[in-house]
């Protein structure tokens, strides 16, 4: 079974949505850090392009996650993200810049590891076991969509796993 089939069987939606070419957006995405105003500008620039997903799945809010090598506490955060977990709400990530690695696990504990880049849109349904890390690039900007931010805590499954990385 291909990684794409494995991921689809889990109910994960993995689509290509080309990043909009809104004026000014590329320059903002090229920065490492973004202040609150700049983050809001990015959300404003790309929000309309995911209006269909918001309508279909009832996502009411969105924000931008920005990680880069100088993000305070980055390595500690990555050590949490790369532990297998689930959420009570969908995890939706629209990658606008940089790279990330998702691991998806089935009920038997088989894991498939995929790399995501700008233009990748993922909807991980509530309850699907997964984990995440960055690549060596240590940079990502992703739009997050939420139906209910309160329902979006991580529930760690305590499944024993090694470090998350792309297979050589």
Binding site for Fe ion (CB under 5 A): 91
Q: What is the 3-state secondary structure (H, E, C) of 108-160?
A: CCCEEEEEEECCEEEEECCCCCEEEEECCCCCEEEEEEECCHHHCCCEECCCC
- Our CB check for Fe ion shows the closer of 91 and 97 to be 91
Residue 164 makes CB contacts below 8 A (sequence gap 6+) with: 82, 101, 103, 113, 131, 132, 133
Residue 5: helix, strand or coil by DSSP?
Answer: helix
Compute the least distance from the CB of residue 82 to Fe ion, in Å: 10
- Our CB check for Fe ion shows the closer of 28 and 142 to be 142
Compute the least distance from the CB of residue 112 to Fe ion, in Å: 16
Compute the least distance from the CB of residue 102 to Fe ion, in Å: 9
Please give the biggest Cα pair distance in the chain. Answer: 46
Point out the residue whose Cβ comes nearest to Fe ion.
91
| DSSP 8-class letter at 18 | P
- Our CB check for Fe ion shows the closer of 91 and 99 to be 91
- Our CB check for Fe ion shows the closer of 119 and 125 to be 125
Quickly count: other Cβ atoms within 10 Å of residue 100's Cβ.
Answer: 23
- Our CB check for Fe ion shows the closer of 89 and 91 to be 91
From residue 30, alpha-carbon distances to 18, 60, 70, 140 in Å are: 16, 27, 15, 10
């Amino acid at each position: 079974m291909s990684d794409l089939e494995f991921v689809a069987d889990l109910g994960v939606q993995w689509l290509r949505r080309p990043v909009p070419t809104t004026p000014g957006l590329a320059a903002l995405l090229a920065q490492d850090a973004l202040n609150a105003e700049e983050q809001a500008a990015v959300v404003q620039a790309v929000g309309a392009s995911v209006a269909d997903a918001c309508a279909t799945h009832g996502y009411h809010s969105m924000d931008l996650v920005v990680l880069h090598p100088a993000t305070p506490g980055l390595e500690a955060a990555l050590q949490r993200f790369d532990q297998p977990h689930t959420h009570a709400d969908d995890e939706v990530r629209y990658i606008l810049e940089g790279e990330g690695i998702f691991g998806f696990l089935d009920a038997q504990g088989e894991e498939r590891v995929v790399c995501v880049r700008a233009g990748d849109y993922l909807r991980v349904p509530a309850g699907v076991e997964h984990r995440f890390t960055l690549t060596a690039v240590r940079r990502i900007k992703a739009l997050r969509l939420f139906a209910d931010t309160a329902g979006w805590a991580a529930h760690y499954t305590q499944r024993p796993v090694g470090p998350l990385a792309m297979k050589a």
